[in-house]
Amino acid sequence: MSVSLTRVRRVRARVGPHDWAWAREARAAIAANWRRRLAATPAMFNGAVLLAHEFAVEPDGTLRLGLFESDYAALTAFIDLGFPDDSVANVFAALAPRTADGAYLLGRMGGHTARAGQAYFACGTPDRSDVGPDGAVDLAASARREFTEETGLVGPESTEGFVVVRDGGLLGILEPVVLADETNAVLARIEAHLAREAEPELAGMVVVRGPGDIDPARMPGYVRTFLADALAGA
């Protein structure tokens, strides 16, 4: 499946029941993959996560998502096995921060994480804490929470809507935001935050100022697609 990029004005997501046939039928493979992953990264935790089984952009520019609950072991196997079920997507939201002097900032994942060494915008798979009493899922709040937890910064409000990047089984909902400070000042604040953390999720930051900074070896396809598009319009 080719990578697609779509701009939307808003995102509406809701969680409900869904029978994920692939996960039910692949229990043995999921368990074996989880054992292998735990042997390499013992700190991993098999908590509840939300995945998408319905996703459509409506004429008014609204991305509507139907989500359901699974667990991290199933999600990890789903990713590691190459997204064998195209009816489900690993959905996540992230702020795409640009500094006042025009640099995009990505986090480089720490060695104890499942994606050690990869560089992407601070994000996390939505979970039960993002679900409201009516079943609505606040993905924008999820993105801001992850951004603050990983960088120590508070994300500003966006005026640009969202950029949705579909890359196979990945569905990234990226919210471009502009930070008030220039790159060096922002990096200093993030580095101070990481130094205070006992086990920070990020090993450091990656600065992207132009197309030459896009790294295919470390950056997932959805990140490269977003950056190439954003830098082309800069």
Quote the mean pLDDT of the chain. Answer: 92
pLDDT in tens, 165-222: 999 899 999 999 999 999 999 999 999 999 998 888 888 899 999 999 999 999 999 9
Share of the chain above pLDDT 90, in %: 77
Q: What is the pLDDT of residue 96?
A: 95
Q: How confident is the model at residue 78 (pLDDT cuts 50, 70, 90)?
A: very high
Q: What is the mean pLDDT of residues 98-118?
A: 83
Q: Residue 211 carries which DSSP code?
A: G
Task: Give the CATH number, domain containing residue 24.
Answer: 3.90.79.10
> Euclidean distance between the first and final Cα of the chain, in Å?
27
Span 59-76, average pLDDT: 96
Q: Identify whether the C-beta of residue 227 lies closer than 8 Å to the C-beta of residue 94.
A: no
**For residue 158, what pLDDT band results from cuts at 50, 70 and 90?**
confident
What pLDDT sits at residue 222?
92
User: Which whole-number Å values give the CA distances from 218 to 31, 89, 106, in the listed order?
Assistant: 27, 21, 11
Return the pLDDT at 203: 80
Which amino acid, one-letter code, is at 185? A
Q: 64 vs 142, which has greater pLDDT?
A: 64
Give the predicted TM-score (pTM) of the model: 0.89
Structure confidence by residue, pLDDT tens digits, 3-60: 899 999 999 999 999 999 999 999 999 999 999 999 988 888 999 999 999 999 999 9
The pLDDT value recorded for residue 85 is 96
The contacts of residue 217 (CB under 8 Å, 6+ apart) are none
Q: What per-residue confidence (pLDDT) applies to 41?
A: 84
Phi first, then psi: give them for residue 22, nearest 5 degrees. -60, -45
pLDDT above 70: percentage of residues in the chain = 96
pLDDT of residue 112: 67
pLDDT of res. 182: 97
- The parent domain of residue 44 ranges over 4-232
Per-residue pLDDT at 116: 66
What is the rounded average pLDDT of the residues 59-73?
96
What confidence score (pLDDT) does residue 234 get? 62
Structural domains counted in the chain: 1
Q: What is the DSSP string of 107-167?
A: EEEPTTSTTTT-EE-SEE---GGGB-TTSEE-HHHHHHHHHHHHHS--PPPPSS-EEEEEE
pLDDT of residue 113 exceeding 90: no
In this predicted structure, what is the pLDDT of residue 114?
Answer: 60
